[in-house]
């Protein structure tokens, strides 16, 4: 009997994968394309997260600095138009009142813009396979997309904060750091999740722009960013109470000013903080379910 020139390869059974290996040796294989995840893929999550971060950071003039400059123009226009004559809102100068809301608005708008872009472009350009084929679960995919969007929101928020600190007449002293961090993060996560859902639903940029112009922009503009809702008629005040971005703006402002439209104590603001966190949990579960179903992603 002639011995082969090359050694006979041996099959190494991966640790923790005994069930899959035994099924393969017995001739029972999973259906083609059926994913099997045996644990949390930290490397895959980190790789996709860094891919998304590098994507927007390569064009940082457009994704970070341009939104920051645009938001600063809002501050200039509104302080010149409405901040004269020593006008105060909630007991503070108008410029100090509007500045935290503008920072929060810049953060949430950019969180939405980032998360609503990746999957949509993948579907339009045929590169969606880059998101679907890597060995990561739907939960890891969602975490990476939301994490990158929140990272962009934080960078825009920091750029705005640094610029506004040196703006004449603006006081951005932090009274409650927990409120700044919580409402800043929860607001960014909220819009990032809505962005992922939008990118799943939309098939072209026009549909994405429709959500931006007819849903996100009105919610942001009518959230008390430039005014106090206490000045509104009772009907419009009630409508504002159903706008989640209103709680983002008011809670974020509370962190800087120590007062807001939802209260001037931690106990009063805590209700909004819990409600916002609960909304994000529900929205994250819904987004995960849509991702797992493969709706508009797999044919």
Which of the two residues, 18 and 263, has the higher pLDDT score?
A: 263
Residue 28 lies in a domain: no
Alpha-carbon distance of 190 to 210, in angstroms, equals 18
Question: Per the structure block, which two tokens stand in for 56?
Answer: 């927007």
Residue 132 lies in a domain: yes
Alpha-carbon distance of 253 to 70, in angstroms, equals 20
| Total domain count, the chain | 1
Residue 35 lies in a domain: no
Model confidence pLDDT, tens digit, residues 115-162? 999 899 988 888 888 898 888 999 999 999 999 999 999 999 999 999
- Whether the pLDDT of residue 259 is over 60: the answer is yes
The pLDDT assigned to 91 comes to 85
Model confidence pLDDT, tens digit, residues 186-198? 999 999 999 999 9
Residue 241 lies in a domain: yes
Torsion of CA 100, 101, 106, 107, to 10 degrees: 70
Question: Per the structure block, which two tokens stand in for 298?
Answer: 């797999």
Alpha-carbon distance of 83 to 104, in angstroms, equals 20
Averaged pLDDT for residues 239-247: 93
| Band of residue 55 on the pLDDT scale cut at 50, 70, 90 | very high
- DSSP code string of 85-151: TT-EETTEEHHHHHHHHHHHHHHHHHHHHHHTTHHHHHHHHT-THHHHSSS--HHHHHHHHHHHHHH
Measured between its terminal Cα atoms, the distance across the chain in Å is 52
- Domain assignment of residue 283, given as a range: 40-293
Residue 85 lies in a domain: yes
Which range, of 14-23, 109-118, 213-222, averages the lowest pLDDT? 14-23
CB atoms near residue 110 (< 10 Å): 28
**What is the length of the chain?**
299
Alpha-carbon distance of 216 to 149, in angstroms, equals 16
Q: Are 140 and 47 in contact (CB under 8 A)?
A: no
The pLDDT assigned to 127 comes to 86
Q: Which residues 6+ apart lie within 8 Å of 128 measured at CB?
A: 119, 122, 297
The pLDDT assigned to 268 comes to 87
Model confidence pLDDT, tens digit, residues 155-188? 999 999 999 998 888 999 999 999 999 999 999 9
What predicted TM-score, i.e. pTM, was given to this entire model? 0.85
The pLDDT assigned to 181 comes to 97
Alpha-carbon distance of 130 to 147, in angstroms, equals 18
CB atoms near residue 290 (< 10 Å): 18
Q: What percent of the chain has pLDDT over 70?
A: 86
């Amino acid at each position: 009997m002639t011995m082969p020139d090359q050694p006979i390869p041996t099959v190494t059974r991966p640790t923790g994968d005994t069930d899959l290996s035994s099924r393969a040796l017995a001739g029972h294989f999973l259906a083609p394309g059926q994913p099997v995840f045996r644990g949390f893929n930290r490397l895959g999550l980190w790789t996709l997260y860094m891919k998304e971060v590098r994507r927007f950071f390569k064009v940082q003039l457009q994704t970070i600095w341009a939104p920051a400059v645009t938001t600063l123009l809002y501050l200039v226009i509104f302080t010149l138009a409405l901040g004269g004559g020593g006008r105060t809102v909630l007991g503070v100068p108008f410029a100090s009142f509007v500045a935290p809301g503008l920072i929060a608005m810049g953060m949430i708008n950019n969180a939405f813009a980032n998360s609503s872009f990746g999957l949509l472009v993948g579907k339009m350009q045929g590169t969606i396979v880059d998101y679907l084929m890597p060995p990561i679960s739907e939960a890891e995919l969602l975490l990476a997309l939301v994490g990158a969007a929140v990272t962009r929101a934080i960078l825009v928020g920091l750029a705005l904060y640094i610029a506004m600190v040196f703006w004449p007449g603006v006081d951005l002293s932090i009274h409650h750091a927990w409120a700044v961090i919580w409402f800043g993060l929860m607001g960014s996560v909220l819009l990032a999740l809505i962005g992922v859902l939008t990118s799943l639903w939309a098939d072209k940029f026009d549909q994405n722009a429709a959500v931006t112009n007819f849903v996100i922009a009105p919610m942001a503009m009518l959230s008390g960013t430039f005014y106090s809702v206490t000045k509104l008629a009772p009907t419009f005040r009630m409508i504002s109470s159903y706008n989640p971005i209103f709680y983002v703006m008011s809670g974020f402002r509370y962190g800087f000013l120590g007062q807001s439209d939802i209260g001037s104590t931690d106990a009063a603001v805590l209700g909004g903080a819990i409600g916002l966190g609960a909304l994000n949990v529900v929205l994250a579960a819904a987004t995960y379910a849509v991702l797992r179903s493969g709706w508009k992603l797999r044919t």
